[in-house]
Structure 1
Amino acid sequence: PPQMSAAGAARRVLTAASHSSHGERARTWKILSFALALPGVGVCCLNAYLKSQEHSHEQPEFVPYNHLRVRTKKFPWGDGNHTLFHNPHTNPLPNGYESSHH
């Protein structure tokens, strides 16, 4: 038999894959999901956890930039100065942090 080139072999595999049944394609995607996607999500979760452990939990220094924390009108909730998801440790008000301790 004549020698088969790499391109010919790849073409033959792709042709066979394109003619596979719906069940075989579904099984292939299921295997890929479990073999690649789930471990990838696990690695991302581990990375986020490790980054959160080494992150400094100290309050950043307040710098009163003119273009940040602009209040042209009061918010319709609370005292009108706090954002909806306000965190007093990480979100300063226009004049600085509410408290300097944890």
Structure 2
Amino acid sequence: MDGVFVSEEADARKPQTRHFALATACCGTVLGDGGWMVGDNPVNGIGGGRSAGLHTIWIGNGSFWPPDVPGPDHTVPHACAAIDLLLLYSADHARTTA
């Protein structure tokens, strides 16, 4: 884990881009460097992350995606599947940049 960001301790909440900028700063990076938003809320988490320029993974947990909301980059059934997907992307990125 690169950092921890608790939105209740900051003057920014999802889906505000400022929320995501502060969170990435906690990880020692900036929004322009890219990154991922993984969450279960279509509007606040996924929509906010997409608006901030992040790749998105929605953890569906058996729910259906709202038809009137732009979709995520990826949908997974649970958190473990999101971690597996992130590890896959990380390994692929390491191979292409080596």
TM range (shorter): under 0.3
TM-score, scaled to structure 2:
0.21
- Tell me which protein shows more strand as a share of its residues: 2
TM-score, scaled to structure 1:
0.20
